Amino acid sequence: MITIKTKEEIRIMREGGKILVGIMKTLEKKVKPGISTEELNRAAEALISLSSEALAKEDKIKCSFKGYQNYPACLCTSINQEIVHAVPSARTLKTGDIISLDLGIIYKGYHSDMAVTLAVGKVAPDTQRLIRITKKALKRGIKKVQPGNTFGDIGHTIQKYVESQGFNVVRDLCGHGIGQELHEDPQILNYGRKHTGEELKTGMVFCLEPMVTVGDFKIKKSEDGQGYETLDGSLSCHFEHTIAVTKNSYKILTA
């Protein structure tokens, strides 16, 4: 069942979203050749602790991902062909890599979730284009968020744009509702047909997260049992925002 959030709940999630954005912006500055993904994870945990210091005890921030379905870290760090949920490790970033940073926090009992993909040093022009197109795909999907439209409208818009640019959208992973639970109804596909699926209503809050591949959209489980990567080893890119449906349009809670 899709839950409808009150204005107060959305206000809380917007506050949490602002905190999350601040943490993510600091993490982005740390992405450079030679840093390990575990160092990035430790930085994420430290920033969450630092952000909590100024808050009341009952408002302390927590990681959304750590311990969720046995995930062992706070930050997801997916490199190159890895799509989502790759576990931080001693692996270091190299010039020419791309990395998706995916982070969620709990603030006052509500989750916020966002992801960005970053170039590590100088990357090939085609790789930079993949990042740019995926980011634009998310923006185009967000613009379809308004009461009366459907989740099929969002998926269709993302798919049509991505495929028009020569890339593919992952079919077996999707966006999701969010609130007091990290993953709530509905599941939001990044492909589909217009005017199909559940109708968007004021008060819905969910995460849109296009995952785009250079090659085929088929995926496989990573060796660590947590992450997913492209079956053909091609590059993958991922962006995500938490979005609320407003009376006439939308509000990006992680802007």
Give the pLDDT score at 225.
86
Q: Is 108 left (phi over 0), alpha (psi -120 to 50) or beta?
A: left
**Is 111 labeled as ligand-binding?**
no
Give the pLDDT score at 58.
78
Phi, psi for residue 214 in degrees, rounded to 5: -75, -40
- Tens digit of pLDDT for each residue in 208-238? 999 999 999 999 999 888 999 999 999 999 9
Domains of the chain (ranges, CATH numbers): 7-252 (3.90.230.10)
Give the pLDDT score at 74.
98
**Is 82 labeled as ligand-binding?**
no
What the block records as the tokens of 33 is 């050749």
Give the pLDDT score at 57.
78
* pTM confidence score: 0.96
The per-residue DSSP string of 146-180 comes to STT-BHHHHHHHHHHHHHHTT-EE-SS--EEE-SS
Helix and strand numbers, DSSP H then E, in the chain: 4, 15
Give the pLDDT score at 60.
87
**Is 216 labeled as ligand-binding?**
no
Q: Pick out the chain residues at pLDDT < 50.
A: none
The contacts of residue 168 (CB under 8 Å, 6+ apart) are 162, 212, 213, 215, 216, 217
**Is 176 labeled as ligand-binding?**
yes
**Is 209 labeled as ligand-binding?**
yes
